[in-house]
Structure 1
């Protein structure tokens, strides 16, 4: 499997897992979703918001890649988050609408990537304004790893709330 195929697989895995997580989360009451579970982002809804906000920040950075990814152009209509702990969507249904849109955007964009673009560097500023210049492929690995990390936290929180997400292994999507 080459790097482009790996990115496409991770984009598909991201969408697959988010559907499973949100399907499970929809079984909980709003109060259960908002309950402070002593996780880094407090609640299940807080952690899901963080994932969406973090993905938005990274995708907006990726849109600045020298390749000029037109597939990410719809992000220009969305403000860049300034706080990754904010509860941008207090309603799970509204958050799911944004999440599903982002997941499809990620898949569509991943389908436009070219191998030669992966070795380029991406210059951006972090949320504190510090300049960074890093290899693009490494940033993509971070992007997908960050999703997996926090989704793992959410699946634990959902399990603790009595709801099983089911199989979460990437292996399920590998031929």
Structure 2
């Protein structure tokens, strides 16, 4: 299905795209980043925060932590400081790239399981599918952010993998 090389490529793509979106959002004011734009998480900033926290939760699940929400608090309003967000996002990008760099194809075999924060029954699925979900989820929300940035007058960079440096 997927390989360690696929994970390394998409981890690099994740870092590149997040950097591009942050650069485009740098041209907006803080109030413009937090403005309700009608998206699921309302604003550019809240959607970026959701992606930051969701990346941490899914990566922990893939690594075997069945209850990452016990130590990772998901908050759409945090971080609220733009400079802090940029610093934390850069660190999360590096964390994902470091994780992918150490993967072997065998690491993608087997299952992973976790308990959702809402107390529902334990979820179990193939580890490779969880990895696909990590990267697919990022792409989904970055598309929303890209659209909001464009509507706000910013000019995000291209998103096509062949354009990746």
TM-score over 0.5 for the alignment? yes
Deviations 1:38-82 (A, max 9, x none): 1100110010000001011112212327xxxxxxxxxx9x9312x
Query: Does the aligned pair in 2 maintain the 1:60–1:80 contact within 8 Å?
Result: no
User: How many residues in Structure 1 have an aligned counterpart in Structure 2?
Assistant: 160
Query: Does the aligned pair in 1 maintain the 2:21–2:157 contact within 8 Å?
Result: no
Aligned to 2:155: 164
Aligned to 1:80: 72
Distance 1:26 1:44 in 2: 11
Distance 1:134 1:152 in 2: 26
Spell out structure 1 runs of 4+ moving beyond 6 A.
Answer: none
Unaligned runs of 5+ in 2: none
Q: TM-score, normalised by structure 1?
A: 0.85
Unaligned runs of 5+ in 1: 66-75
Distance 1:139 1:63 in 2: 10
Deviations 1:84-140 (A, max 9, x none): x53111112111111100100110110111111212100211222330111001100
Query: Does the aligned pair in 1 maintain the 2:47–2:76 contact within 8 Å?
Result: no
RMSD of aligned Cα (Å): 1.8
Instruction: Find the residue that maps to 2:117 and give its secondary structure.
Output: coil
